[in-house]
Amino acid sequence: MSVDFLEMLLISLPFLYLFILIFTIYKLVKADISDANKTLLICLTIALPFLGILSSFIYLNIKKKSLV
Protein backbone atom coordinates (compact mmCIF):
# COMPACT_ATOMS: atom_id res chain seq x y z
CA MET A 1 0.00 0.00 0.00
CA SER A 2 1.68 3.18 -1.13
CA VAL A 3 1.10 6.62 0.28
CA ASP A 4 1.44 9.38 -2.26
CA PHE A 5 2.84 12.83 -1.54
CA LEU A 6 -0.55 14.55 -1.47
CA GLU A 7 -1.86 12.12 1.12
CA MET A 8 1.19 12.64 3.34
CA LEU A 9 0.78 16.39 2.99
CA LEU A 10 -2.89 16.20 3.97
CA ILE A 11 -2.07 14.06 6.99
CA SER A 12 0.57 16.55 8.20
CA LEU A 13 -1.59 19.64 7.60
CA PRO A 14 -3.44 19.51 10.95
CA PHE A 15 -0.15 19.79 12.83
CA LEU A 16 0.97 22.70 10.68
CA TYR A 17 -2.41 24.37 11.16
CA LEU A 18 -2.19 23.91 14.92
CA PHE A 19 1.24 25.55 15.05
CA ILE A 20 0.09 28.48 12.90
CA LEU A 21 -3.07 28.81 15.00
CA ILE A 22 -1.19 29.04 18.30
CA PHE A 23 1.39 31.46 16.89
CA THR A 24 -1.23 33.72 15.28
CA ILE A 25 -3.42 33.89 18.38
CA TYR A 26 -0.35 34.75 20.46
CA LYS A 27 0.53 37.58 18.07
CA LEU A 28 -3.09 38.83 17.97
CA VAL A 29 -3.32 38.92 21.75
CA LYS A 30 -0.11 40.97 21.89
CA ALA A 31 -1.21 43.31 19.05
CA ASP A 32 -2.47 46.81 19.80
CA ILE A 33 -5.88 46.75 18.10
CA SER A 34 -9.42 47.25 19.36
CA ASP A 35 -11.14 44.44 21.24
CA ALA A 36 -13.88 43.92 18.64
CA ASN A 37 -11.39 43.56 15.80
CA LYS A 38 -9.17 41.34 17.94
CA THR A 39 -12.11 39.05 18.76
CA LEU A 40 -13.13 38.82 15.11
CA LEU A 41 -9.59 38.02 13.96
CA ILE A 42 -9.15 35.38 16.66
CA CYS A 43 -12.46 33.72 15.70
CA LEU A 44 -11.46 33.68 12.02
CA THR A 45 -8.02 32.38 12.92
CA ILE A 46 -9.59 29.50 14.83
CA ALA A 47 -12.29 28.70 12.24
CA LEU A 48 -10.28 28.70 9.00
CA PRO A 49 -7.71 26.02 9.93
CA PHE A 50 -10.47 23.69 11.10
CA LEU A 51 -12.21 24.11 7.76
CA GLY A 52 -8.94 23.12 6.09
CA ILE A 53 -8.58 20.08 8.36
CA LEU A 54 -12.18 19.08 7.68
CA SER A 55 -11.68 19.35 3.93
CA SER A 56 -8.50 17.23 4.20
CA PHE A 57 -10.33 14.43 5.99
CA ILE A 58 -13.25 14.62 3.56
CA TYR A 59 -10.80 14.27 0.66
CA LEU A 60 -9.08 11.30 2.30
CA ASN A 61 -12.41 9.56 2.99
CA ILE A 62 -13.59 10.07 -0.59
CA LYS A 63 -10.28 8.74 -1.88
CA LYS A 64 -10.46 5.74 0.46
CA LYS A 65 -14.02 4.92 -0.67
CA SER A 66 -13.06 5.22 -4.34
CA LEU A 67 -10.27 2.66 -3.86
CA VAL A 68 -12.65 0.05 -2.42
> Rounded to 5 degrees, what are φ and ψ at 18?
-65, -40
pLDDT of residue 27: 83
Dist. CA 65–CA 31, nearest whole Å: 45
Give pLDDT tens digits for 47-60. Answer: 877 787 788 778 87
Give the separation between CA 17 and CA 48, rounded to whole angstroms.
9
**Which tens digits make up the pLDDT trace of 6-54?**
777 777 777 777 788 788 888 878 888 888 888 888 888 778 777 877 8
Q: Cα–Cα distance between 66 and 44 in angstroms, integer? A: 33
Q: What is the pTM of this model?
A: 0.47
Any idea how long the chain is? 68
Per-domain boundaries in the chain: 5-67
